């Protein structure tokens, strides 16, 4: 990525750090803004500055991404979202008076089911972690797979939030999205994995459930790396904690649970958010067509 030399972008990123946004989120904003600034300077031969950008520039950049770079709608919309946030900050801080992004609409997107793993892929991922012998990592992966918690919620879990009995267990997810607590059941696989992890968990003053080598709470970035590491070993591409959340939701719905139940488990405020998991995936469409194939026995 090109080094950021624009003082306004640097100041904006400093504000994002002050807001305590995730490192990965800030890095994404930086990439998108630097890419726009590079395009702007190459197109207009002017130095990039918030006050120099017009609505036509933003529209032209949107068109450039779609027609020249052939970027998908989600990528273009993410870039536009970064520009909207940046220029809103520029107006609030007195750098500009009008928003060049105001009349530029996002690219329409069709209804798309979030990416998830097939059961056999999820099973292969878990087997790979089991083979490593790392009880903490296995507990992390199984908790993500069988509860659907967000990675931030997983990292925020405290020991007192867990109830683990012989035949049942539960996990209190505090202040999830929308600042609402919810209780999620723990199935036997998760309970067994957590017990094995607690038997080896290093002594620490930190009462977070999942801790790192220094006895401090595991951070979301570390969980991302853990999931990615085992996914690579299992021969799976682009697996993230959020994909495991999607996998949980899809498999629970496929098993016959209703939308209200899955919505409660995921901590969604609206049922239509959960309803996206009812949309068929590309894999579902392929399997549906394959079922129509004629067999030799017929």
The 10s digit of each residue's pLDDT in 121-161 is 999 999 999 999 999 999 999 999 999 999 999 999 999 99
For residues 134 and 31, state if they share a domain.
no
What confidence category does residue 216 fall into, taking pLDDT thresholds of 50, 70 and 90? very high
Tell me if 114 is assigned to some domain: no
β-pair type (182-185, 162-164):
unpaired
Co-location of 84 and 182 in the same domain: no
| pLDDT, mean of residues 43-61 | 95
Name the residue with higher pLDDT: 294 or 214. Answer: 214
Token reading at 285? 């469409």
Token pair, residue 212, equals: 């790192």
Active site residues: 150, 177, 242, 245, 268, 277
**Could you count the other beta carbons within 10 Å of the beta carbon of residue 212?**
15
Is the backbone of residue 267 left (phi > 0), alpha (psi -120 to 50) or beta?
Answer: left
Same domain, 32 and 139: no
Question: Are 133 and 88 in a shared domain?
Answer: no
Question: Is residue 102 situated within a structural domain?
Answer: no
Biggest CA–CA distance in the chain, Å, is: 75
Where in the sequence is the domain holding 71, given as residue range(s)? 7-92
Task: Average the pLDDT over 82-95 and give the result.
Answer: 95
User: Within this chain, do residues 35 and 168 fall inside the same structural domain, yes or no?
Assistant: no
196 in any annotated domain: yes
Mean pLDDT of the chain: 89
The mean-pLDDT minimum among 29-43, 83-97, 170-184, 192-206 falls in 170-184
* Same-domain pairing of 275 and 186: yes
Does the pLDDT of residue 289 top 80, yes or no?
A: no
Question: For residue 78, what is the domain's CATH number?
Answer: 1.10.150.130
131 and 244, same domain (yes or no): yes
193 and 86 assigned to the same domain: no
**Is residue 68 included in any domain, yes or no?**
yes
User: What pLDDT does 221 receive?
Assistant: 94
For residue 2, pLDDT beyond 60? no
Q: How far is CA 215 from the centre of its chain?
A: 26
CA dist., res. 156 & res. 163, Å (int): 16
């Amino acid at each position: 990525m090109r080094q950021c030399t624009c003082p306004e972008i640097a100041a904006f990123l400093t504000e994002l750090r002050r807001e305590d946004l995730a490192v990965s989120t800030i890095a994404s904003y930086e990439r998108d803004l630097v890419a726009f600034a590079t395009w702007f300077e190459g197109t207009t031969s002017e130095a990039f500055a918030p006050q120099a950008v017009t609505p036509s520039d933003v529209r032209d950049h949107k068109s450039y991404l779609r027609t020249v770079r052939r970027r998908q709608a989600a990528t273009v919309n993410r870039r536009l979202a970064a520009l909207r946030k940046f220029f809103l900050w520029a107006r609030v801080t007195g750098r500009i008076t009008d928003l060049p992004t105001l009349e530029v609409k996002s690219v329409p997107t069709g209804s798309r089911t979030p990416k998830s793993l097939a059961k056999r892929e999820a099973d292969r991922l878990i087997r790979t972690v089991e083979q490593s012998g790392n009880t903490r990592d296995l507990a992390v992966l199984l908790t993500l797979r069988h509860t659907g918690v967000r990675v931030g919620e997983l990292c925020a879990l405290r020991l007192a939030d867990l109830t683990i009995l012989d035949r049942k267990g539960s996990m209190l997810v505090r202040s999830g999205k929308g600042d609402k607590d919810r209780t999620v059941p723990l199935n036997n696989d998760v309970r067994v994995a957590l017990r094995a992890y607690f038997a080896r968990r290093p002594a620490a003053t930190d009462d977070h459930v999942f801790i790192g080598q220094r006895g401090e709470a595991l951070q979301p970035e570390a969980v991302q790396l853990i999931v990615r590491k085992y996914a690579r070993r299992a021969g799976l591409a682009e697996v993230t904690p959020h994909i495991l959340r999607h996998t949980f939701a899809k498999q629970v719905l496929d098993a016959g649970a209703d939308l209200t139940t899955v919505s409660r488990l995921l901590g969604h405020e609206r049922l239509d958010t959960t309803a996206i998991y009812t949309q068929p995936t590309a894999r579902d469409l392929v399997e549906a067509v394959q079922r129509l194939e004629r067999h030799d026995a017929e």
